[in-house]
Amino acid sequence: MNLIRIGTRKSPLAMWQAYAVEQKLKKQGYLTKVIPISSHGDKNLIQPLYRMDIVGVFTKDLDIALLNNEVDIAVHSLKDVPTILPDSIEITAFLERDYEQDILIRNSSSSKNTGNFNDLYVGCSSLRRRAFWKSQYPNVIFGDIRGNIQTRLNKLESENFDATIFSLAAIKRLNIPLSYEVLDFIIPAPSQGVIAVTSLKTNTEIKKAVNKINHKKTQICVQIERSFLNELEGGCTAPVGAIAKIEGENVHFKAGIVSLEGNDKVLLNEVFPFVNSELHGKKLADKAKKMGADKIIEEIKIK
Ligand SMILES: NCc1[nH]cc(CCC(=O)O)c1CC(=O)O
C-alpha cells in the first residue's frame, strides 16, 4: 500500500483525533495523509442536536468521502457514530479509551462559581446530561449551547451561563488549561472517549493495515455499550448512559436510562466474566427494560 488517506472533520478536536490515528499508523510503517472534509454538522449551529435527524449528522460527509474513494479511512469520535452504519461501511479499529467522564467547567465571572450544583444556569444541549443532572439536582436551569469546544467556551462567557458540561476526553486532547469538576452522577454516553476508524467493507488491504492499531479491550467494552444502546433506543434518542470497564477477568458495567425531566430513572450495575462478553449488551438491555426502561423510552417517543 502506497499511502493511507485519512479523512476527518475540520474541528480542532477532530483534527487532533485524526493525527492520533496517523501517529499509530506511522509507527506501523505506513505512509499517511490527513484530508479534512467539510461537514453539515458544523454548519447548523442553531438547531439543538436532538431536533436534527440524529442518524449520522456527524458521520454523513465522511461516509460519502469513503464511498467516493476520496479517502481510505475516516476518523470519528465513536459516540457520534450511529449504532447502525451504512451497509458498505464498517468500524475497522478502536483506539484505547483515555477518559470517559463528563465534567463541569464553570464561568469564572459568575457569582455562582463554586460549590452548589442545584440552582445553576447551565449551557448544555445533551438530553442525557440534562436528564441525569435533573434527576439529582432538579432546580437546575438549562439553556442550549452548540458548536465546537471553543465556540461553547466563548458562549459560556458571552451568554452568561454559570457553567457548561464537556467530555473530559475533549478537554485533555485539546490541552485546554481550565479547572474542572468530574460529574460522577452523569453516566457517560456509550463509547464516550473512544476514537474509531471506519473504512469500506470491501477494502481488505486497508482493513488488514488498520486492524494493527485496534485496541481489543476497548473494542469489547464499546461493543457491549453500543449493543445495549441499540437495543434500547430503537431509532429514538433517549437519555442513555453506559460504561463498561474490564477489571481482571471481569467486565464492570454501569448504565442508566432517565426520563427527560429526570423524575424516572433505571440504573444497572453489573459484573460478569470478560470471556464472550461482546454479546452481553442485548441481555443487559432486556434486564433494563424489565426494570422500567421500556416505559421511560415509550414516553419519550410519544413526546
Ligand atoms: N458531543 C460532541 C462530542 N463528540 C465527541 C466529543 C468528545 C470526545 C468524546 O467524548 O468521545 C464531543 C464533545 C463533548 O461531548 O463535550
**So what's the pLDDT on residue 32?**
98
Contacts of 185 (CB under 8 A, 6+ apart): 132, 133, 136
| Ligand 1 lined by 105 (C-beta under 6 Å) | no
Which tens digit of pLDDT belongs to each residue from 169-213?
999 999 999 999 999 999 999 999 999 999 999 999 999 999 999
- Residues of the chain above pLDDT 90, percent: 78
d(CA 205, CA 187): 38
What is the average pLDDT across 241-246? 97
What confidence score (pLDDT) does residue 48 get? 47
Tens of pLDDT, residue by residue over 70-86, are 999 999 999 999 888 88
Q: For residue 250, which of 229, 224, 227 has the smallest C-alpha distance?
A: 224
pLDDT band at 222 (very low <50, low <70, confident <90, very high): very high
- Least confident piece of the model among 5-9, 38-42, 225-229, 283-287: 38-42
Q: What number does CATH give the domain 226-302? A: 3.30.160.40
Q: What percent of the chain has pLDDT over 70?
A: 93
pLDDT per residue over 28-54, tens digit each? Answer: 999 999 999 986 444 444 344 444 443
Cβ pair 177, 153 in contact under 8 A: no
Q: In the structure, what pLDDT confidence band is assigned to residue 271 with cuts at 50, 70 and 90? A: very high
Same fold, 4-95+194-214 and 102-182: yes
If you measure from the C-alpha of residue 192 to the centroid of ligand 1, how many angstroms do you get, rounded to a whole number?
Answer: 7
C-beta separation of 240 from 190 below 8 A: yes
Split at pLDDT 50, 70, 90, the class of 303 is low
Superfamily classification of domain 4-95+194-214: Periplasmic binding protein-like II (3.40.190.10)
End-to-end CA distance of the chain: 51
* CA–centroid distance, residue 290 to ligand 1 (Å): 30
Average pLDDT over residues 268-280: 90
108-135 per-position pLDDT tens digit: 999 888 888 888 999 999 999 999 999 9
Q: What pLDDT shows up at residue 162?
A: 97
Instruction: Pick the more confident residue, 43 or 284.
Output: 284
Residue nearest to atom 2 of ligand 1 (CA): 80
**CATH classification code of 102-182:** 3.40.190.10
More confident residue, 277 or 259: 259
Q: Residue 17: is its pLDDT beyond 70?
A: yes
Cell numbers found for residue 157: 462567557
- 80 C-alpha to ligand 1 centroid (Å): 8
Whether residue 268 has pLDDT greater than 70: yes
From 21, 52, 77, the mutation candidate for ligand 1 (largest count of ligand atoms within 8 A of CB) is 77
Ligand 1 within 6 A of 80 CB? yes
The pLDDT of residue 49:
43
Q: What is the pLDDT of residue 33?
A: 98
Just list the catalytic residues.
80
Alpha carbons within 13 A on the beta-carbon side of 187: 23
CA of 209 to the centre of ligand 1 (A): 27
> Taking 60 as the threshold, does the pLDDT of residue 64 lie above it?
yes
Amino acid 230: pLDDT: 92
Please, which contacts does 44-47 make with residues 24 or more away whose CB atoms are closer than 8 Å? 45/146, 45/147, 45/151, 46/146, 47/146
Q: Whose CA is nearest to atom 9 of ligand 1?
A: 193
Q: What's the chain's average pLDDT?
A: 91
- Domain ranges, ordered by start, for the chain: 4-95+194-214, 102-182, 226-302
| For range 80-107, the mean pLDDT | 94
What is the per-residue pLDDT for 55?
Answer: 53
> pTM of this prediction?
0.93
